[in-house]
């Protein structure tokens, strides 16, 4: 009997080709799109990801590939697990990564449960990442995708062995240009569809209007100060700023100034020169280890502190519980509370956690 796989089809080229590849390999393939927003309201804050046009694109691809197609309504789950988290983190003066939570809670959480209800053995996505199973240890390793420019292993660090057991990543060994070429050869109309936005539920170039609508009375202006506490200006609201930010400060001081600290309790931004954005030591909590439960002694690894960070060599030291202290060999720019720190050994993802605080050297 064929193994059954439900492919999370976004209406884009990656998931479409993933569905075709799995069908070619002999799986019983079902396509499904997550309805997580549609369009709410008419303002600039309206959510449009996975809306009617994307669903229709996915439906057409499924029809062309000759596979069944479903729409999973996950609006409530997405609102609760991703959007509320996104807004609350900014309100706390932290910088969230909603893609990680969406993968953990929605795609490999709620979507997986709905796929199991269809008696599926696996779910699949268009992520550029690889999974390898070690039969001797009965564990899965998460590895970087072959396309270094498109590798998405960073946003998958929080997944578990149980989730990997039901997951397929057919694009892991492909490069983006190969995927687009295959879509063109298959005659899929989405072969040249643009990449999705970095934050899929923000449909303009700024998240400010979205937060303004969502947080409303929680946003208030406050002072911008230097490290000595001297007031240099006024900010528009803590949620609109992140560590390392330069634009939007509206400070005419004759030299570039950057956000180097956010004091949410005092509703204050602290700014400094570019060199003061550098740091090398920080605490990570809620650590998830993919191949082991925990470490009991210092460990060397390459650590990425945001999606487009190249990674840098660091030492990880256990602090008890699910906390780790990370110390880079050389200072890195804009270590930002709320962002994910992901640990690598070569191409293998060891695990990762959430940056809680930056320590003074």
Task: Give me the chain's average pLDDT, please.
Answer: 93
- Classify 33 as helix, strand or coil: strand
64, pLDDT greater than 80: yes
What residues pair up with 32 in beta bridges, in sequence order? 8, 70
Of 288, 6, 344, residue with least CA distance to 168: 6
Question: For residues 107 and 201, which has the higher predicted lDDT (pLDDT)?
Answer: 107
**Phi-psi group of 252: left, alpha or beta (phi > 0 → left; psi -120 to 50 → alpha; rest → beta):** beta
Least confident range from 24-28, 80-84, 295-299: namely 295-299
17, pLDDT greater than 90: yes
Contact indicator for 206, 236 with CB cutoff of 8 Å: no
Among the options 49, 50, 99, 200, which is catalytic?
A: 200
Which domains occur in the chain, in start order?
4-185 (3.40.50.620), 222-269 (no CATH), 277-358 (2.40.30.10)
Which strand (E) or helix (H) includes residue 276? none
35, pLDDT greater than 50: yes
44, pLDDT greater than 50: no
Question: For residues 254 and 43, which has the higher predicted lDDT (pLDDT)?
Answer: 254
Among the options 87, 99, 102, 218, which is catalytic?
A: 102
Contact indicator for 30, 118 with CB cutoff of 8 Å: yes
Instruction: Please report the DSSP string for 297-327 in residue order.
Output: S-EEEEEESSTT---EEEEEEEEETTEEEEE
Q: Is 200 in the active site?
A: yes
Q: What is the pLDDT of residue 141?
A: 97
- Per-residue pLDDT band for 50 (boundaries 50, 70, 90) equals low
Q: What is the pTM of this model?
A: 0.93
Q: Is 49 in the active site?
A: no
- Per-residue pLDDT band for 42 (boundaries 50, 70, 90) equals very low
- Per-residue pLDDT band for 43 (boundaries 50, 70, 90) equals very low
User: What token pair was written down for 336?
Assistant: 């930002």
Least confident range from 32-46, 183-197, 225-239: namely 32-46
Overall average pLDDT of the 82-104 stretch: 96
Distance CA 164, CA 262 (A): 37
């Amino acid at each position: 009997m064929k193994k059954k796989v439900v492919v999370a089809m976004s209406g884009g080229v990656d998931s479409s080709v993933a569905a075709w590849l799995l069908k070619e390999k002999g799986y019983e393939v079902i396509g499904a799109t997550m309805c997580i927003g549609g369009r709410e309201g008419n303002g600039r804050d309206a959510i449009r990801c996975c809306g009617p046009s994307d669903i229709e694109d996915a439906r057409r691809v499924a029809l062309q590939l000759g596979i069944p197609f479903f729409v999973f309504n996950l609006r409530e789950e997405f609102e609760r697990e991703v959007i509320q988290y996104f807004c609350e983190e900014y309100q706390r003066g932290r910088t969230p990564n909603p893609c990680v939570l969406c993968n953990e809670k929605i795609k490999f959480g709620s979507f997986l449960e709905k796929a199991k209800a269809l008696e599926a053995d696996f779910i699949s996505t268009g992520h550029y990442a690889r999974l390898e199973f070690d039969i001797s240890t009965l564990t899965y390793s998460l590895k970087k995708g072959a396309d270094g420019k498109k590798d998405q292993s960073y946003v998958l660090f929080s997944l578990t062995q149980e989730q990997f057991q039901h997951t397929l990543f057919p694009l892991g060994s492909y490069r983006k240009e190969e995927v687009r070429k295959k879509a063109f050869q298959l005659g899929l109309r989405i072969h040249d569809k643009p990449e999705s936005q970095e934050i899929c539920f923000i449909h303009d170039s700024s998240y400010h209007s979205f937060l303004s609508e969502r947080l409303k009375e929680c946003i208030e202006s406050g002072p911008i100060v230097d490290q000595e506490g001297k007031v240099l200006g006024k900010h528009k609201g803590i949620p609109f700023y992140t560590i390392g930010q330069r634009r939007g400060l509206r400070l005419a001081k004759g030299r570039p100034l950057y956000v180097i600290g956010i004091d949410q309790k005092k509703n204050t931004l602290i700014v400094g020169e570019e060199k003061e954005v550098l740091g090398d030591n920080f605490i990570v909590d809620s650590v998830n280890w993919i191949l082991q439960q925990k470490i009991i002694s210092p460990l060397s690894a390459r650590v990425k502190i945001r999606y487009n960070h190249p990674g840098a060599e660091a030492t990880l030291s256990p602090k008890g519980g699910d906390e780790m202290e990370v110390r880079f060999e050389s200072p890195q720019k804009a270590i930002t509370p709320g962002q994910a720190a992901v640990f690598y050994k070569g191409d293998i993802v060891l695990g990762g956690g959430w940056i809680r605080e930056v320590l003074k050297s």
